[in-house]
Structure 1
Amino acid sequence: MRILFVHQNFPGQYRHLAPALADSPANEVLAIGEEASIRRIEGFHPRVRLLGYPQPQGASRQTHHYLRSSEAAVRRGQSVARLALELRRQGFLPDVICAHPAWGEALFLKDVFPAARLLLYLEFFYRGSGSDIGFDPEFPSSFDDRCRVRTRNTTQLISLEAGDAGISPTNWQREQYPAVYRQHIRVIHDGIRSDLACPGEVAGFVLPEERGSLRSGDEVLTYVARNLEPYRGFHTFMRALPAVLAARPSLQVLIVGGDEISYGRPLPGGGTYREHYLRELGSGIDAGRVHFLGKIPYPRFIDVLRLSTAHVYLTYPFVLSWSLLEAMSCGCALIASDTAPVREVLHPGHNGLLVDFFSPAALAATIIAALANPDSTQPLRAQARRDIVDRFDLATCTLPRLVTLVSDLAAEGPAGL
């Protein structure tokens, strides 16, 4: 079986699937990504051949702003198509192509390899209402925004028309796609390494700026996001902290995440959201007890979760973060936003607690109660861990399903979405 993976930031969501398929001597596995990403992962797997394309030019400044993402996607799709044409000239004809369509890389792959089965990773379909757009009144969306995101879906719709099957990591993400395509979209999560993300003792977790260290048994509140921004409820979390810090004088707070923008808009006046909310809250944030760790290596991230007495996860109706499932796998006491993606995996009183995304007061009260009575969260912690092992474990649940899906597609003719 010949398999081609295409992802601008390879390996991305294929971090486990590509090596699993390459482990079989019967398979030939190639991966295409942007050159910078490919350089970063040299030696990724001895049987995965890595090919890079130059970062394509983006849209011109004269392009209508609705169409800038589409123009950039076409340019990226062209770069990938040129590389794919060279592969075809060399005699490589894939049986299955696994591609993330959001950035345009999948646009022309079936034109190069019409007999290949195209399996799309369908992460998020933008909607003008009912999901992230218009959710947060503090950061309102305009009619122009709704039109822009509708046009942004053009790239995915063209790829969907050419595809043969799709994967979405959660049911909620699948349901964002047009109804006509849903029956062809399997819900299979990327998987959690529950052997790595697991409960454990921590000693000597060194805090930044020589503020000492933490160990298991210390009272620790944790919050994690790729970047600290409203899409992941950073504003609500920060506004809850003054009350929490006042009520729990021994509490230490660990905040993981960068200062860039992953989703949404930058602040109109510039600067970072971290700086903005530190200014807003002033003396309510005890700098000696609130520790911004930035982006950290994975083992240190797992130690943060293992130290956690209570862990906060907040999100708009948007892509569900791996970090929530990893926190569950580590047996954290979860306090999360009562938003649709979260409700798919977290059930109040069963494996966690849910709060109103927009209420810092409700979040603070729930955190304080959990910290004051950690024994009450032990059943929730244990159940959260069990749920990940039973439903999302990479080795026993998700990876076997993904490998089987690719194998089944290779044995079939292209059906089309």
Structure 2
Amino acid sequence: MKILFVHQNFPGQYLHLARFLSADPNHEVVVITQRKAATLPRVKTIRYQPSRRVTPNLHHYLVDAEAGILNAQAVVRAALDLKRSGFVPDVMLGHNGWGEIWYLKEVYPQVPLLGYFEFFYHLRGADVDFDLEVSPPFDSGPRLRTKNLGNLMGLDAVDLGQCPTEWQKSLYPKRYQSLLHVMHEGVDTRAVTPDATAHLRIPNTDIDIACGDEIVTYVGRNLEPYRGFPQLMRSLPTILSQRPNARVLIVGGDEISYGARLPGGRTYKQALLSELGDSLDLNRVHFLGKVPYSVFLKILQVSCVHVYLTYPFVLSWSMLEAMSAGCVIVGSKTQPVEEVVRHGENGLLVDFFSPEQIADRVIDVLKEPRAFASLRHNARQTIVNHYDLQTICLPAHLQLLRMLADR
């Protein structure tokens, strides 16, 4: 089978699938991407760049749409060159988020296209109106409706789509939901496992920690409100004062992935450290920045309790990986988390906006870790039963690809 992937930051969500397909000599895999370091064995990589930047002073509603069009045009030029070279795929896959897949059918009209759809924007019932203390301006509604132009363009272009969770699918208009299949990328549960012998030297220190120590972990791509970083930080003075042997490992960068930036270029880490001042024992709070995947796994394996907080938004891979590693999850009672975590069965749910509840649940686990052994076991079993790469997710992807290719 000949497969064409399109993803500006390849491999992204396609890591496991592309790796599996490219390992089979019966498949020919080509990728169109912006990423310079996007390389996998036996994958032909074609890199593109949009021809120009977005028009200065363009109406701000249309910035994302024009950026998507520029990406889509550049991808089409790359696809035309590919077609002239004789490559005609049996199936095409691409992430819709940056517009890249919008015009692929102009080049390959008969080739089935599977799009990846992550989030349909809403003024109400998802992320925008989640914080009741922040009232979205009237402009938010028209702006978000316009932002969904890209989603609608993609839905019109594809033969089928995929969403990683049921909740994310539910955000799309009902008239399109029959196109969308719920398929998570999967967790490699053979690699992401509990390890009672795990130990780790905290990066940039001489402190050694091990599984069984009082270690609280938190992971985000960046440290920001959408992932509950302020609430985590405000819970720490209580946790650290009541558990004098506890340490907190915080993974994430200082940029913004989602939501608004602070004025003056301040980071949320700087703001929270200033707010909490001397109430926080910084000798036991370790900001690790972005870490290699091997270190990330060790962090999960030594974790006594893992805090995962999120707005009603895209569910992070890290929460599922933490469950696969046998962590006790203290998670926010928000829709993406509630789809996976059942309170008292495979994790603990708390009010996103309550540092007090977060602290209480974390302290409970630190005090009596053995009392939560069943939650650890059930958390991992949830991932093995529903999100395992080899037995659940990869076979589902392959079955859908074969179905599309045989159309």
Which range, TM-score by smaller chain?
Answer: over 0.9
1:40 is the counterpart of 2:30: no
Amino acid at match of 1:18: A
> Separation in 1 of the partners of 2:332 and 2:53?
36
Amino acid at match of 1:354: L
> Separation in 2 of the partners of 1:157 and 1:203?
47
Mapping for residues 70-89 of structure 1, pairs under 5 Å: 70-89=65-84
Instruction: Give the secondary-structure state (helix, strand or coil) at the position aligned to 1:223.
Output: strand
Distance 1:56 1:318, change over 3 A: farther
> Separation in 2 of the partners of 1:65 and 1:129?
21
1:122 is the counterpart of 2:117: yes
Q: CA deviation at 1:171?
A: 0.3
Q: CA deviation at 1:297?
A: 0.4
1:302 is the counterpart of 2:297: yes
The partner residue of 1:331 within 303, 318, 326 is 326
1:385 is matched with which residue? 380
Amino acid at match of 1:254: L
> Separation in 2 of the partners of 1:62 and 1:269?
22
> Separation in 2 of the partners of 1:3 and 1:210?
46
Contact 1:205 1:215 in 2 (8 A): yes
The partner residue of 1:404 within 391, 399, 403 is 399
Q: CA deviation at 1:176?
A: 0.9
Contact 1:370 1:377 in 2 (8 A): yes
Q: CA deviation at 1:398?
A: 0.3
> Separation in 1 of the partners of 2:98 and 2:7?
9
Contact 2:198 2:301 in 1 (8 A): no
Q: CA deviation at 1:143?
A: 1.8
Contact 1:128 1:147 in 2 (8 A): no
Mapping for residues 56-135 of structure 1, pairs under 5 Å: 56-135=51-130
| Runs of at least 5 residues in structure 2 that lack an aligned partner in the other structure | none
Contact 1:21 1:403 in 2 (8 A): no
> Separation in 1 of the partners of 2:185 and 2:133?
33
2:17 is matched with which residue? 17
1:6 is matched with which residue? 6
Q: CA deviation at 1:153?
A: 1.1
> Separation in 1 of the partners of 2:362 and 2:133?
23
RMSD of aligned residue pairs (Cα, Å): 1.3
| Runs of at least 5 residues in structure 1 that lack an aligned partner in the other structure | 413-417
Scaled by the length of structure 2, what TM-score is found?
Answer: 0.97
- Deviations, residues 237-274 of structure 1 (Å, cap 9, x unaligned): 11111111111011010000000100001112321101
Instruction: Give the secondary-structure state (helix, strand or coil) at the position aligned to 1:191.
Output: coil
1:161 is matched with which residue? 156
Mapping for residues 254-273 of structure 1, pairs under 5 Å: 254-273=249-268
1:415 is matched with which residue? none
| Count of matched residue positions in the alignment of Structure 1 and Structure 2 | 407
Mapping for residues 133-152 of structure 1, pairs under 5 Å: 133-152=128-147
> Separation in 2 of the partners of 1:245 and 1:391?
35
Q: CA deviation at 1:181?
A: 1.0
Instruction: Give the secondary-structure state (helix, strand or coil) at the position aligned to 1:102.
Output: helix
Amino acid at match of 2:276: L
Amino acid at match of 1:224: V
Amino acid at match of 1:45: P
Identity %: 48
2:166 is matched with which residue? 171
> Separation in 2 of the partners of 1:77 and 1:376?
53
Q: CA deviation at 1:82?
A: 0.5
> Separation in 1 of the partners of 2:313 and 2:349?
16
Amino acid at match of 2:8: Q
> Separation in 1 of the partners of 2:69 and 2:191?
39
Instruction: Give the secondary-structure state (helix, strand or coil) at the position aligned to 1:3.
Output: strand
